[in-house]
Amino acid sequence: MPFRFKRKESVTKAARRLCCERVDDALELLEKGEHHEAVHDVRRQIKKLRAVLRLVRQGIGETAYNESTNTLREAAERLNAMRDAQVRLDALEDLVKRSNGQIPRRSLPKIQNALRQNCRDEEQKLVATFGSVKDTLLRARQQLGALKVKPNNWKAVGPGLKRIYRRGRKALELAEREPSSEHFHEWRKRVKDLANQLRLVCPARPGKLKARTEKLDRLGDLLGDDHDLFMLREFVGQRLKEREIGPLEMVIAGRQKELQSEALKLGASFFTKKPNRFCRQLGNGWKRWRE
């Protein structure tokens, strides 16, 4: 079913349905999907789950929130190494296409071989952990299926949305003031959360929220590409000699600068409203829609 609230559905029922659907999709992906594809898609479902929990955090209470979030984090962490190995290889391939020959061809085979071997190693490890990931997700489903959200109105949703929007705005300010790969990565997390939360409440203001969500998706892609390059740079720096990676590091740094500059411009055009005003407008739309 679509990842959004229904008009006549209680917030409790919606939260349970949205969470259980995501877990079921993740379990099916683990059962049927190819390893690296399944990892990507399962992690995406877990991000959606955590966005739902952050949205209704005040309505379910800190105990339930922490319990469910910790279980989901446990499942995601078992998949991270495989995901990171694959995106580093993909990042290099994309960089080679964009570099116009700036990366010396003689250094590429060694770097590519190291990245491919890392993918094979992590995939072998992953096969042994799929069972434990499934068990963790089943435990999460039991927790999420028993969620109780109070009250059954915007007061259970608005504070979570406001919190994530505010954190996204502050993360943008920090990235502008102190640009670093770590700060841009933290900003990306908040951008992804906010995009998923806007999808949930999209029916309240479908025209405006669809355009805003698409802008956040573009911003998340820019920040994601930047972080993938950061991980690639770290990987080759730890495994290869300086003379082998110097030109590659220069190309990576140049591309990161482009991505970060574009992300800052796009972010500044999105996070224009103060949190109170942003959430008040959404809340008014939500109330009209639900009534």
Can you tell me the distance from the alpha carbon of 286 to that of 283, in angstroms, rounded to the nearest whole number?
5
Residue 36 has pLDDT above 80, yes or no: no
DSSP 101: T
pLDDT class for 146, splitting at 50, 70, 90? very high
Contacts of 288 (CB under 8 A, 6+ apart): 204
Classify the phi-psi angles of 61: left when phi > 0, otherwise alpha if psi is within -120 to 50, otherwise beta.
left
Specify the 3-state DSSP secondary structure of 13: helix
10-32 confidence digits (pLDDT tens) = 999 999 999 999 999 999 988 87
Least confident of 88-92, 104-108, 210-214: 104-108
pLDDT of residue 40: 86
Of 130 and 176, the structure prediction assigns the larger pLDDT to 176
- What is the percent of the chain with per-residue pLDDT over 90, rounded to a whole number? 70
Query: Which residue in 129, 123, 133, 139 sits closest to 37, CA to CA?
Result: 123
- The domain limits of the chain are 11-274
Token pair 């705005």 is found at 169
Specify the 3-state DSSP secondary structure of 6: coil
Contacts of 137 (CB under 8 A, 6+ apart): 23, 26, 27, 30, 75
pLDDT of residue 99: 81
Residue 239 has pLDDT above 80, yes or no: no
- Asked if 157 contacts 59 with a C-beta cutoff of 8 angstroms, the reply is yes
pLDDT class for 33, splitting at 50, 70, 90? low
- Over residues 222-251, mean pLDDT: 86
- Asked if 279 contacts 194 with a C-beta cutoff of 8 angstroms, the reply is no
- Asked if 154 contacts 286 with a C-beta cutoff of 8 angstroms, the reply is yes
Token pair 């994530």 is found at 164
Can you tell me the distance from the alpha carbon of 44 to that of 42, in angstroms, rounded to the nearest whole number?
5
Q: Please tell me whether the peptide bond between 2 and the residue prior to it is cis, using omega within 30 degrees of 0.
A: no
Q: What is the CA radius of gyration of the chain?
A: 21
Residue 105 has pLDDT above 80, yes or no: no
Least confident of 108-112, 185-189, 238-242: 238-242
Work out the angle at residue 83's Cα, subtended by the Cα atoms of residues 26 and 168, and round it to the nearest 5 degrees. 80
Residue 85 has pLDDT above 60, yes or no: yes
Can you tell me the distance from the alpha carbon of 157 to that of 197, in angstroms, rounded to the nearest whole number?
10
Query: Which residue in 30, 36, 32 sits closest to 82, CA to CA?
Result: 36
Please state which CATH number belongs to domain 11-274.
1.40.20.10
